[in-house]
Amino acid sequence: MSAVQITELTVHYGEVLALTGVDLRLEEGRVIGLLGTNGAGKSTLFNAVMGLVAPTRGRVEVLGGSSLAARQRGLVAFVPQSERIDTDFPVSVRDVVAMGRYGRLGVTRRLRAADRAAVDAAIARVGLTELADRQIGDLSGGQRKRAFVARGIAQDARLLLLDEPFAGVDVTSQALITRLLHELRDEGRTVLISTHDLAGVPALCDEVVLLHHRVVFQGDPAEALAPERLALAFVGPDVADAAHAPDPRPAQLRGDGPAPSEARDAGPAHPLDRTEEPA
């Protein structure tokens, strides 16, 4: 069974065309990078997989059923980009992670012993046990991101969607999150990551999807990062002539810039999250 099967997906926001004719199949037990410019449709694709946007045309199946059914069953988890989270919202790390259990609770919304154990185990797995009762807004950007990954683990989601997981994240947290995502993959879960960190893709991803309102490439990361492939997504297939289009790779991949490990400031985070529309 595929984790995601998308057929001829087209999505409009009014007169704006976000996605057109998207065909995409993602297998279970893979880490997949989703690359494209701002406005290429990445957020819309995430929303379609989560059942949050109605297609103009086409079908989206997630883990053998509809995207809406998968979300309602807690099979899909979303880790938001930190910058979209209100750090003043008064919840602790434990509260955020416990949200991953809400779909399993009854009408009383009270955590049972098994739920509390799952929350504690998820917090421990991301290395935040000592900070479990601290307010989410008091954490560093990397710590907040780890808390939201823990929420997906506590939820026991089979498909995890991550929006720019390394934006505003320190090098230590990036390494921890990368290792954790690989562990989840090895457990048979599927991880789809929207990222602009091209230099980190080869070590992170098993395959790459290039998106420019439609899928312009899907395959091996090394092939995806070739200039002529990246131009399809970052310049657009209509103008991506390798002989004339500029090399869209970051300086590190071209060999004329600093190492990609330099530099990430902490950024905000919070549970009331959702991807942007349109994209």
β-strand partners of 34: 194, 209
- Cα radius of gyration (the chain): 19
Sheet arrangement for strand 215-219: 76-79, 159-163, 190-194, 31-35, 207-211, 215-219
Q: Is the pLDDT of residue 70 over 70?
A: yes
Using pLDDT thresholds of 50, 70 and 90, give the confidence band for residue 260: very low
The pair of three-digit structure tokens given for residue 171, joined into one six-digit string = 């090098």
- Each residue of 145-182: pLDDT tens digit? 899 999 999 999 999 999 999 888 888 888 899 999 99
- Give me the half-sphere count of Cα atoms (radius 13 Å) on the Cβ side of residue 65: 12
- Each residue of 181-206: pLDDT tens digit? 999 999 999 999 999 989 999 999 99
Q: Say which residues have a Cβ less than 8 Å from residue 250's Cβ, sequence separation at least 6.
A: 198, 199, 257, 260
Query: What is the structure's pLDDT at 156?
Result: 92
Q: Is the pLDDT of residue 95 over 80?
A: yes
Averaged confidence pLDDT in the chain = 85
β-strand partners of 61: 5, 66
Tell me the C-alpha to C-alpha distance, in Å, between residue 270 and each of 44, 99, 136.
21, 12, 7
Share of the chain above pLDDT 90, in %: 64
Q: What is the pTM of this model?
A: 0.83
Residue 169 φ/ψ, nearest 5 degrees: -115, 135
Q: Is the pLDDT of residue 259 over 70?
A: no
Q: Is the pLDDT of residue 231 over 60?
A: yes
Query: What is the structure's pLDDT at 270?
Result: 35
pLDDT: which is higher, 110 or 213:
213
Query: What is the structure's pLDDT at 268?
Result: 35
Q: Is the pLDDT of residue 113 over 80?
A: yes
Query: How far is the C-alpha of 191 from the C-alpha of 186, rounded, in Å?
Result: 11
pLDDT: which is higher, 244 or 231:
231
- Contact by Cβ (8 Å): 98, 115: yes
Determine if the peptide bond prior to 278 is cis (ω within 30°). Answer: yes
Query: What is the structure's pLDDT at 174?
Result: 87
β-strand partners of 65: 62
Q: Which residue has the tokens 């601290």?
A: 134
